[in-house]
Structure 1
């Protein structure tokens, strides 16, 4: 019989942890937007990931480097909502991600998206998976295609 704490530790869906700024600077569109408006670039990435999270395919955690004020120095997923975390000023997003992975008992269910090769080696050494920002772009495109296809089926059924 699972305890409530154990149930929280082992989510029904795999966990996707995204190094936000790594992805922003890896994707040309977001990199160019970030040069004009960093907040808009972060918002656009957040919205794209929210669709993936809401699909139920992944439990998404988006991590950004914090720059201002007091921010969390630990990722605390507390519900079914997508988690957006900012590191504290004296901590990096990489450190936050590494700490999150290190505390997980189910590391094989965690995938970290980053373009940082040193971070990839650290995460893989901890026992989690890594994927590239390019893979994430492809996964988001595939998820969007699945949504369009599902909506088309619903629309066709509704017409009959």
Structure 2
């Protein structure tokens, strides 16, 4: 995914970017770690050297691969190389960016595109499913580990409440 493109497209990240770009990057990485954990999809975030000058680097935080491009390399160029390296018969690649030209380029390379908005909706839907699952789990009455007759359970419940 094109990290700065996503930051520019998501309201929460835009607000952070206005205060401190590094906070916006960190928050995006946290969100993508959550997305990866919930979806099971390998996630690579690419930031170009526009905001971070210096030598290119590859990092891993929260099991998310983070790539900072070389100083004169764009995120788009890096993503295109990654698509060529990763895409094969067994591996479908999705590229998250709202850059229309980049979407067309990666689509031509065999990758599928996901807009920033689509990725955001997918992340929120997955989070919603997890919350619903947790709510359903909380509503299930715990079962006794030892099967007991009803009159014995009632006696234990009275003792628990302090009734005689």
TM-score per shorter chain, which class? 0.7 to 0.9
Consecutive unaligned residues of structure 2, counting only runs of 5 or more, are 144-164
Q: How many residues align structurally?
A: 139
Superposed, 1:6-155 pairs within 5 Å as: 18-66=1-49, 67-72=52-57, 81-106=63-88, 109-155=92-138
Give the distance between the partners of 1:76 and 1:105, measured in 2 at CA.
21
TM, length-normalised to structure 2: 0.75
What SS does the corresponding residue of 1:63 show, helix, strand or coil?
A: strand
Distance 2:82 2:27 in 1: 24
Q: CA deviation at 1:131?
A: 1.1
Q: CA separation of 1:52/1:131 partners in 2, compared to 1, >3 Å: closer, same or farther?
A: same
CA distance in 1, matches of 2:35, 2:14: 21
Q: Hey, what's the Cα distance between the residues in 2 that align with 1:158 and 1:39?
A: 45
> Which deviates more from structure 2 when the two are superposed, residues 131-140 or residues 20-29?
20-29
Q: Shift in Å at residue 158 of structure 1?
A: 6.6
Determine which structure has greater relative contact order: mean sequence separation of CA pairs < 8 Å that are 6+ residues apart, divided by chain length: 1
| TM-score relative to the length of structure 1 | 0.77
Please list the CA deviations of residues 15-52 of structure 1 after superposition, one character each: whole Å capped at 9, or x if unmatched: xxx11100111122212220111011111111111111
